[in-house]
Amino acid sequence: MEHLILEMPKRLDALVQSKTKKVVSKAFSGKEPLIIMDFKTCEFVDSLGLAVIVTALKLASQKKKTLRLVHVGKELKLLLQITRFDRICDIHEDMESATRL
């Protein structure tokens, strides 16, 4: 399956939210059916960072593409659990499992 990997910034917060949303939107305009948001180097996500994930989820649904999150750290995983995003996000521990069908 063709895929596109989006590397998330070190901090996904108000300072980069607008720029990151544009990158995410552009990614869903491409031909790849699978978009992977890689949080390997991301150390912090605030509520505006969560809005980027919401945008990606909406675009995935609208464009009939698959969205997966990979390398989600402990703090982000807890935030996703508290907000119940873990129930609607496809979260993977490693890139190998994220890229599988």
* Single pTM value for the model: 0.94
Number of structural domains (the chain) is 1
> Which CATH number is 25's domain given?
3.30.750.24
Burial class (CB in 10 A: 0-12, 13-18, 19+), 3: middle
3 touches 99 (CB < 8 A): yes
Which tokens go with 88?
A: 């609607």
d(CA 6, CA 29): 13
What are 47-99's pLDDT values in tens digits?
999 999 999 999 999 999 999 999 999 999 999 999 999 999 999 999 999 99
C-alpha to C-alpha distance for 80 and 84, rounded to whole angstroms: 6
Domain that holds residue 46: 3-99
